[in-house]
Amino acid sequence: MTESVYVESSIISYLTARPSADVVVAARQVLTASWWGNTGQAFDLFVSALVIEEISKGDSEAAQLRLNAVADVPLLATSSDALAISETLLAHGAVPQSSEEDALHIGIAAASGMDYLLTWNFKHINNAHTKARIADAIDALGFARPMLCSPEELGLEP
């Protein structure tokens, strides 16, 4: 059985962005492109309407590149369970109140039974301080929690 990956918006942004002069951003761009072109083929990849909404913003040419990158990636529904998980994450402080979209990404991935949530968002999603709180909130609701990780953590080789 192939493992499933919810691809959060930051991944698509790093994948399609112009090369950065910032060494950390540039490294993440290279890792993302390598993961997407190689390792990602070993997984069932998914996005959501929220991802599409987020990557559609900004410069129209850049947005089109992002949209083209996920044109063939199936969409996950934003179910009532996803909304409930998101609300719980916010209510319990696992994700800051100001980061509703981040909580919803996690909610969609958990409600959809994803094995992984792939992200470069280390501030509110893939963060050592928030991971335990996120896990506790999802566990309390009885859902299987996705592994929150970056392309580097999920590996570059299938």
DSSP secondary structure letter of residue 45 = E
Interhelix angle for 100-111 vs 128-141, to 10°? 50
pLDDT in tens, 67-119: 999 999 999 999 999 999 999 999 999 999 999 999 999 999 999 999 999 99
pLDDT of residue 11 exceeding 90: yes
Domain count, the chain: 1
CATH no. for residue 25? 3.40.50.1010
Q: Identify the CA nearest to 6 among candidates 70, 58, 64, 67.
A: 70
The model scores a pTM over 0.75:
yes
Residue 157's pLDDT is: 52
Q: What is the residue type of 67?
A: L
Q: Where does residue 100 rank: exposed (0-12), middle (13-18), buried (19+ CB within 10 A)?
A: middle
Q: Identify the CA nearest to 87 among candidates 73, 106, 61.
A: 106
Structural domain span for residue 62: 4-154
**Residue indicated by tokens 């501030």:** 123
- Span between the terminal Cα atoms of the chain, in Å: 14
pLDDT of residue 156 exceeding 70: no
